Structure 1
Amino acid sequence: MDVGDRRLENSRTPLYGFTGNEVHVVGTIDMPVLFGSPPCKVWKMIKFHVISASSSFNAILGRTTITALRAITSISHLKMKFPTDFGIGKMTGDQAIERQCYLTTLSPRKKADEELEVNQVLDIDTRGLVVPPTSNSCSPIEETE
């Protein structure tokens, strides 16, 4: 993930993984994130906690981000919808890609003692929705789905 000339800020707040184990935070970074596609898009500044871990995902969106977007999520439909100035923005996942990510996560590691690279970026609250979007679209504001 290219962060340009941005620098990680130190963080003393521990994070806890999905299994309850403590996760060391390398640092935090505020980055602008684009949700949706034109014309139904929203830019938000998101604070990410960067950790050293192996993962098939680049980012996990937490409840704080989903709430800031005023988004409605459906995990079973791999979809997230949110209001924009020009209608309802939507992000949709791909079931085949999601399946591959899941299988990659389950596959055994090549070396047990290898050092993990910093490749996972987490939002402040890690109990949220995992959203690796593969397609974006826009629908009229009147949509009631």
Structure 2
Amino acid sequence: MSVARLPMEADDRESKRVKGMVSPILGFSDEDKVGTIPPHDDPLVVTLRIEGYDVRRVLVNQGSVVEVMYLDLYMGLKLRPEDLMAYDSILVSFEGKTVTLKGQIRLTIQTGSDIVEVDFIVVDAYSPYTTIVAKPWLHALGAVSSTLHQKVKYPSEGQVKEVIGDQAMARQCIVFAISRRPSTEPSTSIENGL
């Protein structure tokens, strides 16, 4: 009986391949690190096309469950305050502080020829990034990301396509974030000359 099933399963796989139903395998190898500046622990910062505009300094954060857009970008895209829908949840910043929410808006993100819609939470806070894309965007695109390889890979038209990170921009964002930190109290070891 198992002998009869094996050819059928093979025929099913073959017919799916012929119909273009099999998605390419997404993964990363050492070849994907070519072009990165090693060693690094840089965040993955990319340029994406949002609502028809090429937007730089987009942080890809696969650990987040919401897309965040900062108010400066929202205004720069010429979107109006009345376009925002109410958003009642609380959002906490990386520093553990509650962030002022302006609302939520559904916008398109174009990656190559693929367009997905995601809901952005618009916040009024400082960030060296213009926006943060997260699990909803990655999942809608069917994408996987790697900070080590500085890439996002996604299936499209039977191929694996890529969005390549910008390490220089990522490092600039880190410098901007550090320069905006409030000065801290000196530690006791510094005060004691240690």
- In structure 2, which of residues 91, 101, 107 is the aligned counterpart of residue 15 of structure 1? 91
Secondary structure at the aligned position of 2:168 is classed as helix
Is 1:2–2:77 an aligned residue pair?
yes
Secondary structure at the aligned position of 1:22 is classed as coil
The residue type equivalent to 2:77 in the other structure is D
1:52-89 Cα shifts (integer Å, max 9, x gaps): 01111111111122122111111122110001125222
Is 1:73–2:125 an aligned residue pair?
no
Q: Tell me, which stretches of 5 or more residues in structure 1 are unaligned?
A: 111-145
Higher strand share: 1
TM-score (normalizing by structure 1): 0.65
Q: Distance in 1 between matches of 2:79 and 2:118?
A: 16
Q: Distance in 2 between matches of 1:86 and 1:2?
A: 33
1:25-65 Cα shifts (integer Å, max 9, x gaps): 11101011101x3xxx3100110000001111111111122
Aligned structure 1 segments of 4 or more residues deviating by more than 6 angstroms: none
**2:150–2:164 Cα contact (<8 Å) kept:** yes
Percent of matched pairs sharing the same residue: 27
Total equivalences in the alignment? 106
The residue type equivalent to 2:105 in the other structure is I
- Measured on the aligned residues, the alpha-carbon RMSD in Å equals 2.1
Change (3 A) 1:54 1:89: same
The residue type equivalent to 2:99 in the other structure is V
The residue type equivalent to 2:144 in the other structure is I
Q: Distance in 2 between matches of 1:97 and 1:19?
A: 22
Q: Distance in 1 between matches of 2:172 and 2:95?
A: 22
TM-score (normalizing by structure 2): 0.50
Q: Which residue of 2 aligns with 1:131?
A: none
Q: Distance in 1 between matches of 2:157 and 2:146?
A: 22
Is 1:29–2:105 an aligned residue pair?
yes
Q: Distance in 1 between matches of 2:162 and 2:143?
A: 9
Q: Which residue of 2 aligns with 1:91?
A: 163
Higher helix share: 2
